[in-house]
Amino acid sequence: MKKVTTIDLCRMKVNGEKIVMVTAYDAATASIVDTAGVDAVLVGDSLGNVIQGRANTLGVTMDEMVYHTQIVSRGVKRAFLTADMPFMSYQGSIEDALRNAGRFLKESGAQAVKLEVNEQSLDTIYAIRKAGIPVMAHIGLCPQSIHAMGGYRVQGRMEGESARLLKLAKEIEERGAFSLVLESIPRKLAREITDSLRIPTIGIGAGTDCDGQVLVINDLLGISEEPLPKFVKKYAELRKTIHKAVSDYADEVKAGTFPAPDQSYD
Ligand code: KIV
């Protein structure tokens, strides 16, 4: 099966075809989303919240991200696979960034890396790109800067801030990123950024005018605990479904009705 490439994703923007991206953290989920027709899979450092039960993404390590990307890559046959660079794996120096970005391609089967970007990391994008590693940048609400931002808040509402994000987006494209995630910014600003770039934008809480959309798989499936951000739409209620299945199983074991003859050997 032919893998989706950076060129395919850029061509989708030119053709006006929306890009569908979701996160995945394990092989089983990856193989389901891959066959459900998504174009791109992200092994997000959101695994800190949704898999590890942490309050934020700051504690996620390179080794954990490489491990989860390895197991996701076994389930992904078609979709484009991107790995998130965790906090402090690229902010310290360009050498760190290159070494860690390289690990994802050498050890885990990722086709690209994602970085939460500000004006200080533009040279890092350029250096990783020059090493032949495609870079997906991420601006707006950047969860790795949670303490600097003072909480999970919509970004770019003030005039100065929206102008800053538009300028930053253009610089990111100039430095060679192949796509840009826009998180929690007003629709109008996301549209302006999308219209002013050749590379595709992928929105999460950024309205419908982005070139694609991404959601965290546990949010989309209704596994995550409430409250969820306003931008999440639940396409299933798996938390309730799993809860009911496991409590039915527990009741039957307690009652001695499982296993029945059908599940037993003579
Ligand atoms: O970590 C993550 O899952 C992300 C997406 C929400 C874009 O960065």
Per residue in 168-220, pLDDT (tens digit) is 999 999 999 999 999 999 999 999 999 999 999 999 999 999 999 999 999 99
Cβ-Cβ contacts under 8 Å for 110 (sequence gap 6 or more)? 43, 69, 73, 81, 82, 83, 104
| Ligand 1 pocket residue status of 46, Cβ below 6 Å | yes
- pLDDT score recorded for residue 123: 98
pLDDT category at 1 given cuts 50, 70, 90 is: confident
Q: Mutation test of ligand 1: which of 214, 217, 218, 228 has the most ligand atoms closer than 8 Å to its C-beta?
A: 214
Cβ 38 vs Cβ 20: under 8 Å: yes
| Nearest-CA residue for atom 2 of ligand 1 | 44
For residue range 17-74, list pLDDT tens digits in order: 999 999 999 999 999 999 999 999 999 999 999 999 999 999 999 999 999 999 999 9
The catalytic residues are 183
pTM of the model: 0.97
Segment 81-101 shows an average pLDDT of 98
Question: Both tokens of residue 196?
Answer: 């002013």
Distance, C-alpha 184 to centroid of its chain: 14
What percentage of the chain carries pLDDT values higher than 70?
100
- Cβ burial, residue 187 (10 Å; 0-12/13-18/19+): middle
